[in-house]
């Protein structure tokens, strides 16, 4: 049976709380929930504030807006303090505010010693509930987000870069089909006024709360349901594989020609049975078709939505 293994190789250039802010909409405080986890003897107080908002809520043509808007809260000044002033106040407390933006949710985090809790919370609360949305913060955060996509991700994070390529391949044309930071094209076009006017909805899925729907359905899934889905969707003969390499064309040639690839070890005196198995693997035919291998320069990614064609 013919194997359809599709690969994307990147080229030699790779070196190796719903808050009352206009941008996220307003939600009644009655819909908010909280949980307190006490650990005796622990002097640290940690905050995790989860929003059912993520990159799937980015409007079409404005990919990266969710990350940019929420970063203005986590890494920007409040109405009473500039970001530099906040950093100066946080420094002696050895603390900060963190942010993680995913596809379906975003989380603000913070940890502080209990002795500094009152001072920390006063600042933390203002950052989230009374953000300053200063123009200088916007320019700095936007530049950092652009640099991450254009330089850090494609040049210094090979493993993560490969995962993001797979994500683009699997979800092309789907709300999941772009990086949480967006694309260079859409990010460059975004303005502070768009951050202030951003609205969220669940139009992609047709129900009010995707995560609540998952939590409702998940307990109903049976062992047989899982096996049925695996047999239907996980097919080793139809794979997407993303590889990061310096000499992509040569790798492609060796791959499609089934060139033997001997395995070497830094550790001497490997067990003989492993070495014998290696002899099988190094000549195992993969039957990869040239037309299914796409070589793409690393810097071509994240310019626009989707996977670059060439």
The pTM of this model reads: 0.68
**Residue in the block written with tokens 């139809």:** 238
Instruction: Say if residues 22 and 200 touch (Cβ distance below 8 Å).
Output: no
pLDDT for 128: 92
pLDDT for 114: 94
Instruction: Report the distance separating Cα 180 and Cα 66, nearest Å.
Output: 8
Sign of CA dihedral 155, 59, 105, 109: positive
pLDDT for 21: 33
Phi, psi angle pair for 147, to nearest 5°: -65, -35
Pairing of strands 238-244, 98-101: unpaired
pLDDT for 310: 66
Domains in the chain and their CATH numbers?
4-13+222-300 (no CATH), 22-196 (3.30.830.10)
Tens-level pLDDT at each residue, the chain (310 residues): 344 444 444 432 222 233 323 333 344 545 667 788 888 889 999 999 998 889 988 888 889 999 999 999 999 999 999 999 999 999 999 999 999 999 989 999 999 999 999 999 999 999 999 999 999 999 999 999 999 998 898 888 888 888 888 888 888 888 898 999 999 999 999 888 877 765 444 444 444 556 677 778 888 889 998 888 888 878 777 778 888 888 889 989 998 999 998 888 998 889 999 999 999 999 988 888 888 888 888 888 888 888 887 6
| C-alpha gyration radius of the chain | 24
Which residues fall within 8 angstroms of residue 290, CB to CB, at 6 or more apart?
Answer: 252, 256
Phi, psi angle pair for 247, to nearest 5°: -120, 75
Q: Which of 145, 185, 176, 165 minimizes the C-alpha distance to 14? A: 165
Angle formed at CA 116 by CA 113 and CA 119, multiple of 5 degrees: 140
Query: H helices within the chain, ranges in order?
Result: 65-74, 83-90, 117-129, 135-147, 153-156, 158-170, 184-189, 192-196, 210-217, 223-233, 248-256, 272-281
pLDDT for 84: 96
């Amino acid at each position: 049976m013919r194997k359809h293994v599709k690969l994307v190789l990147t080229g030699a250039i790779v070196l190796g709380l719903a808050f009352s802010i206009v941008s996220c909409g307003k939600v009644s405080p009655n819909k908010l929930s909280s949980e307190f986890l006490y650990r005796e003897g622990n002097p640290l107080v940690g905050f995790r504030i989860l929003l059912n908002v993520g990159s799937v809520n980015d409007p079409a043509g404005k990919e990266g807006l969710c990350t940019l808007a929420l970063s203005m809260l986590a890494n920007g000044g409040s109405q009473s303090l500039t970001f530099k002033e906040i950093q100066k106040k946080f420094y002696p407390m050895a603390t900060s505010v963190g942010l993680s933006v995913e596809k379906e949710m975003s989380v603000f985090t913070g940890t502080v010693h209990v002795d500094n809790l009152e001072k920390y919370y006063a600042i933390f609360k203002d950052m989230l509930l009374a953000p300053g949305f200063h123009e200088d913060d916007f320019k700095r955060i936007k530049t950092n987000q652009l640099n991450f996509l254009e330089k850090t991700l494609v040049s210094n994070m090979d493993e993560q870069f490969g995962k993001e390529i797979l994500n683009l391949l699997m979800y092309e044309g789907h709300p999941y089909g772009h990086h949480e930071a967006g694309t260079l094209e859409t990010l460059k076009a975004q303005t502070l006024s768009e951050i202030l006017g951003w609205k969220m909805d669940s139009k992609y899925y047709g129900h009010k709360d995707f995560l609540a729907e998952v939590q409702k359905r998940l307990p109903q899934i049976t062992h047989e349901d899982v096996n049925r889905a695996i047999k239907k969707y996980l097919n080793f003969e139809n794979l997407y594989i993303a590889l990061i390499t310096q000499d992509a064309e040569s790798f492609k040639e060796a791959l499609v020609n089934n060139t033997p690839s001997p395995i070497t070890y830094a550790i001497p005196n490997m067990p003989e049975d492993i070495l014998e198995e290696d002899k099988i693997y190094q000549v195992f035919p993969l039957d990869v078709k040239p037309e299914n291998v796409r070589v793409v320069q690393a810097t071509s990614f994240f310019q626009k939505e989707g996977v670059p064609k060439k």
